[in-house]
Structure 1
Amino acid sequence: MVDDKTKKGKRDRDRVAAGEEYEVRYLMKKTGITESQALALIHRFGNDRQTLEREARKLTG
Structure 2
Amino acid sequence: MADDKSKRDFRDRDRVSADEDYEVEYFAAKAGVTPQQVKELIAKHGNQRETLEREAKALRGNG
Structure 2 length-normalised TM: 0.84
Runs (4 or more) in structure 1 with deviation over 2 Å come to: 5-11
Q: Map 1:21-60 onto structure 2 (within 5 A).
A: 21-60=21-60
After superposition, give the CA deviation of every residue in 1:25-61 in whole Å (9 maximum; x if it has no partner).
Answer: 1110111111111100000000000000100000111
Q: Which residue matches 1:2?
A: 2
Once residues 32 and 9 of structure 1 are traced to their aligned partners in structure 2, the CA distance between those partners, rounded to angstroms, is 26
Consecutive unaligned residues in structure 2, runs of 5 or more = none
What is the RMSD of the two structures over their aligned residues, measured on CA atoms? Answer: 1.5
Q: Which amino acid aligns with 1:4?
A: D
Q: Which runs of 5+ in 1 are unaligned?
A: none
C-alpha separation in 1, matches of 2:34 and 2:10: 29
- Match of 2:4, SS state, is coil
- Could you tell me the percent identity over the aligned residues? 56
How far apart are 1:5 and its partner, in Å? 2.8
Change (3 A) 1:7 1:33: same
Q: TM-score, normalised by structure 1?
A: 0.86
